[in-house]
Chains A and B, each alone.
Chain A
């Protein structure tokens, strides 16, 4: 068991990162920390994807010296997926940060519990 984990240390690290990020996003009450958690979670997935997509000893999929053998190169798709994922992650972070700024301006705190308590006092209109 331990040996398998040691051989696949990159994947193991990725899953641990995912777990750290996920629990931070779920349990931290501070909005900025939640966002950091989200980024760690996404990074975990990207590390997983990148390490799975790489086969040691092979090259980036650009034909060099006329070698067209498939075995010489790695599959470019996982790298493409990581890039797409990073773009998505960045845009989500941007939106969440802008929301956080808006909440902070209104309630002057970043703690979600405090914000929730403050919002309870608002008059319930339509």
Chain B
């Protein structure tokens, strides 16, 4: 076996070791350690990606050399490699970009503990991406939930604790349902490894009498993950959670944690259930409708927000709706669009979440729209980065958001169902219009000054190298996804072909 085949396991084990190690380091040392080791993870994940692309073959790593039906497996293909690579870039940028506020929001003696949590979360997220075993998926899902609760409550104000409790309750409901779904699937198939489960399910689905049972199991599992990732109508925890967390946490939670859950769902659909079986179940249609509802209602709630972070948080609800719509459309094209949107949203939302507190900082520490007037002029860099993020969310060409919307539209046309095409086009148009309304409105707001507003708050933006680097990397990723979307979609499709 090639040495590179060990890398996925290395990334998980490194992260697991780094957690306790950061506990022993001092705050600043823990930060530098985390940055260096995130860079190492990016290189490792990049190597795995390069290896799977060049060899054209996915590889499985059997833990402890126990072969298929007994052992626990890690699997890496192009899609896993690409996702892990991008997730690690976003993780690094979130840590860099939010550092200034981290040192403000946290007690100095607790900063190393924050990085402990971040490292454990990295381990859990990477495991969600690499795992080939559905029960390991559950365990690391719970670790992700616990660590995300941890990084929420580090900012010790009453509202974050309350937000964390609500977040946890919703997540526990989701985990419970997911666990039940996994147990039911294990019960009817007798396997936990995804490929064996798929073979068993395909055999079972041949008899129409078994379809209701499979529907029940897959449906429960899907509802669990949908609750955890915040699909409409379970999106109401988002504004409080993202709005009050420290910027790094908000960025990591919205762009990585909820995406990790969705990636696991897509992986289960392709590798454990199989598209042929999935087509016989009513699950995708339900996801399609809920996704469409989420796109509209998330945006409507964002319109009504009076605070920039709440607006960005509600827009996340809308974007999650887009991703589930892609899953609902189904087929290679629909799932590719969903995965592409996961990437697009990850790089854009993290950029927005690390810039909004900067804009607030030059506006008397207020996130209210009324105070943000002219903040883009007071902190020009953050103004530009926020504008880039907003334009991408709206879907202006050359930015990532445009490509993903185009992919959703083409995927819908590819299904050949007239009703679906009309519905997708209509809701895409409405949602883009709503997005444009609140994002462009905000952009105009941060660049306009009424009378003495500009003079009233005289603070200037604080420039720091780490924040600018992070924002430039995320902007570059955004432009790359927008301009060279075909490179990424090619890779995604290659990855999906390796899935089956």
Q: Is A119 an interface residue (CB 8 A)?
A: yes
* Residues from chain B with Cβ under 8 Å of A100 in the complex: 165
* Residues from chain B with Cβ under 8 Å of A52 in the complex: 183, 187
Give the complex CA separation of A119 and B161 in angstroms. Answer: 10
Q: Is A63 an interface residue (CB 8 A)?
A: no
For residue B152, which residue of chain A has the nearest CB? Answer: A99
For residue A52, which residue of chain B has the nearest CB? Answer: B187
B149→A95 contact, CB < 8 A: yes
B179→A119 contact, CB < 8 A: no
Q: Which of A31, A77, A99, A126 contacts B360 (CB 8 A)?
A: A126
Residue of B150, B161, B357 with most partner-chain A CB within 10 A: B161
Give the complex CA separation of A119 and B158 in angstroms. Answer: 7
Q: Is B164 an interface residue (CB 8 A)?
A: yes
CB distance from B138 to the nearest CB of A (A): 8
A88→B142 contact, CB < 8 A: yes
B165→A112 contact, CB < 8 A: yes
A78-109, CB < 8 A from B: 78, 81, 84-85, 88, 91-92, 95-96, 99-100, 102-103, 106-107
Q: Is A122 an interface residue (CB 8 A)?
A: yes
* Residues from chain A with Cβ under 8 Å of B180 in the complex: 18, 45, 48
A26→B165 contact, CB < 8 A: no
Q: Is A74 an interface residue (CB 8 A)?
A: no
Given A84-B135, A122-B159, A126-B367, A95 contacting B176 (CB threshold 8 A): no
CB distance from A122 to the nearest CB of B (A): 6
Write 29 A-B pairs (CB below 8 A) sorted by A numbering. Answer: A18-B180, A21-B176, A31-B165, A38-B172, A41-B176, A42-B176, A42-B179, A45-B176, A45-B179, A45-B180, A77-B192, A78-B186, A81-B135, A84-B135, A88-B142, A92-B168, A92-B172, A95-B149, A99-B165, A99-B168, A102-B161, A103-B165, A112-B166, A115-B162, A118-B158, A122-B157, A124-B307, A126-B361, A126-B366
Q: Is B25 an interface residue (CB 8 A)?
A: no
Q: Is B413 an interface residue (CB 8 A)?
A: no
Give the complex CA separation of A34 and B165 in angstroms. Answer: 11
Q: Is A3 an interface residue (CB 8 A)?
A: no
* Residues from chain A with Cβ under 8 Å of B491 in the complex: none
CB distance from B184 to the nearest CB of A (A): 8
CB distance from A24 to the nearest CB of B (A): 11
Given A38-B176, A45-B183, A102-B153, A119 contacting B162 (CB threshold 8 A): yes
CB distance from A88 to the nearest CB of B (A): 5
Main secondary structure of the interface of A (DSSP, over half): helix
Q: Which of A18, A96, A115, A116 contacts B168 (CB 8 A)?
A: A96
A38-92, CB < 8 A from B: 38, 41-42, 45, 48-49, 52, 77-78, 81, 84-85, 88, 91-92
CB distance from A81 to the nearest CB of B (A): 6
| A-contact 0/1 string along B147-175, CB 8 Å cutoff | 00110010001110110111011001101
Give the complex CA separation of A116 and B159 in angstroms. Answer: 9
Main secondary structure of the interface of B (DSSP, over half): helix
Pairs A-B, 10 closest by C-beta atoms: A41-B176, A88-B142, A126-B365, A106-B158, A126-B360, A52-B187, A49-B183, A38-B172, A45-B179, A102-B161
For residue B310, which residue of chain A has the nearest CB? Answer: A124
Given A26-B173, A38-B172, A92-B146, A126 contacting B357 (CB threshold 8 A): yes
A103→B162 contact, CB < 8 A: yes
B159→A25 contact, CB < 8 A: no
A119→B159 contact, CB < 8 A: yes
Give the complex CA separation of A38 and B183 in angstroms. Answer: 17
CB distance from A110 to the nearest CB of B (A): 11
* Residues from chain A with Cβ under 8 Å of B138 in the complex: 88
**Besides the contacts A25-B176, A84-B139, what 4 more A-B pairs have beta carbons closer than 8 Å?**
A25-B173, A41-B176, A52-B187, A92-B145
B366→A125 contact, CB < 8 A: yes
Q: Is B368 an interface residue (CB 8 A)?
A: yes
Given A88-B142, A119-B162, A99 contacting B366 (CB threshold 8 A): no
Residue of B138, B150, B180, B357 with most partner-chain A CB within 10 A: B180
Residue of A38, A77, A91, A124 with most partner-chain B CB within 10 A: A124
* Residues from chain A with Cβ under 8 Å of B366 in the complex: 125-126
B172→A116 contact, CB < 8 A: no
